[in-house]
Amino acid sequence: MAFLGSAFRRVVSAVRPPLSPLCRTYARSYSSEPTKEKSVPYEKTLKQDDGASTGPTKPLPRSADVVVIGGGSLGCQTIYHLAKMGLTNVVLLERDRLTAGTTWHTAGLLWQLRPSDVEVELLAHTRNVISKDLEEETGLHTGWIQNGGLFIASNKQRLDEYKRLMSLGKVYGIESHVLSPAETKDLYPLMNIDDLYGTLYVPKDGTMDPAGTCTTLTRAASARGAVVIENCPVTGIKVQTDDLGVKRVKAVKTPHGTIETPCVVNCAGVWAPKLGEMAGVKVPLIAMHHAYVVTQRIEGIQNMPNVRDHDASVYLRLQGDALSVGGYEHNPIFWEEVSDKFAFSLFDLDWDVFMQHIEGAINRVPVLEQIGIKSTVCGPESFTADHKPLMGEAPEVRGFFLGCGFNSAGKSYDCLLFTLRYFMLLRLPLRKL
Give the binding site for ligand FAD (CB under 6 A).
69-75, 93-96, 100-103, 106-109, 233-234, 267-269, 271, 275, 290-292, 377, 379, 381, 404, 406, 408-412
CA–CA dist 35, 37 (Å, integer) = 7
Distance, CA of 372 to CA of 296 (rounded, Å)? 6
Asked if residue 223 lies in contact with residue 212, where contact means CB atoms within 8 angstroms, the answer is no
Least Å distance, CB 403 to ligand FAD, is 7
In whole angstroms, what is the distance from residue 322 CA to residue 295 CA?
6
Please state, in angstroms and rounded to a whole number, the distance separating the CA atoms of residues 26 and 142.
Answer: 34
Q: Closer to ligand FAD at the Cβ: 107 or 314?
A: 107
Count of positions (residues) in the chain: 433
Pick the closest to residue 346 from 70, 97, 73, 35 (CA basis): 35
Strands 66-69 and 264-266: parallel
Bridge-partner residues for 287, per DSSP?
382
CA–CA dist 314, 375 (Å, integer): 17
Report d(CA 338, CA 351) in Å as an integer: 22
- Smallest distance from ligand FAD to CB 145, Å: 12
d(CA 49, CA 170) in angstroms, rounded, equals: 50
Q: How far is CA 381 from CA 1, 27, 37, 102, in A?
A: 26, 26, 14, 7
Enter the DSSP assignment of 104.
G
Buried/exposed code over 303-339 (b: 16+ C-beta within 10 A; e: otherwise): ebbbbbbbebebbbbbbeebbbbbbbbeebbebeebe
Are the beta carbons of 152 and 307 closer than 8 angstroms? yes
Strands 227-229 and 90-93: parallel
